[in-house]
């Protein structure tokens, strides 16, 4: 599958912003972006004047890389957001937030979205009592996500739960650490996504 398997910190440096692809490491002094806050490559330190198209493209790439979405998947999400009622850009971000792998990351059961995706693929979680292995599943209000009992002692899950105490959990989600269970209290709103994203640039890019 066409997944990016190189150093993830290069993606943050390329986008000129932390994308938090390495989990807790991004909050430490080991973060590569903090040490080298410029684009990778020999000409990474040079200042480049960007066209309007380049700015729109970089915004799209930033969001796509942050959520770990392939180009075709991302375009399909945009089409679905465009056909839904409301603001297209906000609809797009809400669809991405509702992905099961993102919800697991937000609940603190994984240290990154990539790790959450891998755990889902291995059948570590249940959704409303049923075992699931599809990271792109869209959660709904009232859904309950739980770590299967035989998987609760996996070291990465134990470590991730320690991180969530510092990182915090979004208001639209509720997590019960001792029981390894999370609940979708409500559908996410645009205001719940605090990461600096200008979704209008993405809309303009796909509208050409």
In a shared domain, residues 48 and 89:
yes
Instruction: Give the count of domains, the chain.
Output: 2
Six-digit token string for 178:
């001792």
Residue 3 lies inside a defined structural domain of this protein? no
Residue 1 lies inside a defined structural domain of this protein? no
In a shared domain, residues 41 and 114:
no
In a shared domain, residues 73 and 26:
yes
In a shared domain, residues 81 and 113:
no
CATH of the domain at 30: 1.10.1050.10
For the chain (208 residues), the mean pLDDT of every run of 10, in chain order, is 60 65 61 62 65 90 90 95 94 96 91 90 94 95 93 81 72 88 94 89 90
Q: 3-state DSSP call for residue 146?
A: strand
In a shared domain, residues 20 and 74:
yes
Residue 4 lies inside a defined structural domain of this protein? no
In a shared domain, residues 18 and 91:
yes
In a shared domain, residues 122 and 179:
yes
In this structure, the strands spanning 173-176 and 130-131 are unpaired
In a shared domain, residues 92 and 103:
no
Residue 168 lies inside a defined structural domain of this protein? yes
In a shared domain, residues 126 and 175:
yes
**H-run or E-run covering 131:** strand 130-131
In which domain, by residue range, is 91 found? 9-96+195-206
Contact 142, 128 (CB under 8 A): no
pLDDT value, residue 159: 76
Question: Would the pTM count as exceeding 0.85?
Answer: no
Residue 2 lies inside a defined structural domain of this protein? no
Give CA–CA dist 124/134, Å, rounded: 11
Six-digit token string for 55:
């700015």
CATH of the domain at 107: 3.10.290.10
In a shared domain, residues 171 and 199:
no
Among residues 95, 132, 121, the alpha carbon closest in space to that of 3 is found at: 121
In a shared domain, residues 111 and 90:
no
Contact 20, 113 (CB under 8 A): no
Give CA–CA dist 199/84, Å, rounded: 16
pLDDT value, residue 74: 95
**Cα 59 from chain centroid?**
15
Residue 164 lies inside a defined structural domain of this protein? yes
Give CA–CA dist 120/82, Å, rounded: 28
pLDDT value, residue 21: 61
In a shared domain, residues 28 and 15:
yes
């Amino acid at each position: 599958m066409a997944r990016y398997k190189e150093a993830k910190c290069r993606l943050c440096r390329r986008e000129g912003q932390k994308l938090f692809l390495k989990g807790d490491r991004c909050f430490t002094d080991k973060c590569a972006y903090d040490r080298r806050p410029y684009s990778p490559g020999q000409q990474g330190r040079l200042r480049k004047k960007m066209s309007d198209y380049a700015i729109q493209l970089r915004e799209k790439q930033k969001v796509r890389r942050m959520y770990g979405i392939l180009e075709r998947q991302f375009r399909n999400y945009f089409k679905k957001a465009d056909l839904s009622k409301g603001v297209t850009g906000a609809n797009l971000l809400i669809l991405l937030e509702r992905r099961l792998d993102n919800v697991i990351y937000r609940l603190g059961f994984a240290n990154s979205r990539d790790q959450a995706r891998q755990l889902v693929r291995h059948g570590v979680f249940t959704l409303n009592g049923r075992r699931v292995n599809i990271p792109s599943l869209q959660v709904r209000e009232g859904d309950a996500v739980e770590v299967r009992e035989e998987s609760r002692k996996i070291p990465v899950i134990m470590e991730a739960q320690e991180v969530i105490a510092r990182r915090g959990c979004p208001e639209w989600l509720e997590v019960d650490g001792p029981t390894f269970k999370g609940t979708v209290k409500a559908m996410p709103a645009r205001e719940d996504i605090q990461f600096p994203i200008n979704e209008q640039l993405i809309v303009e890019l796909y509208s050409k």
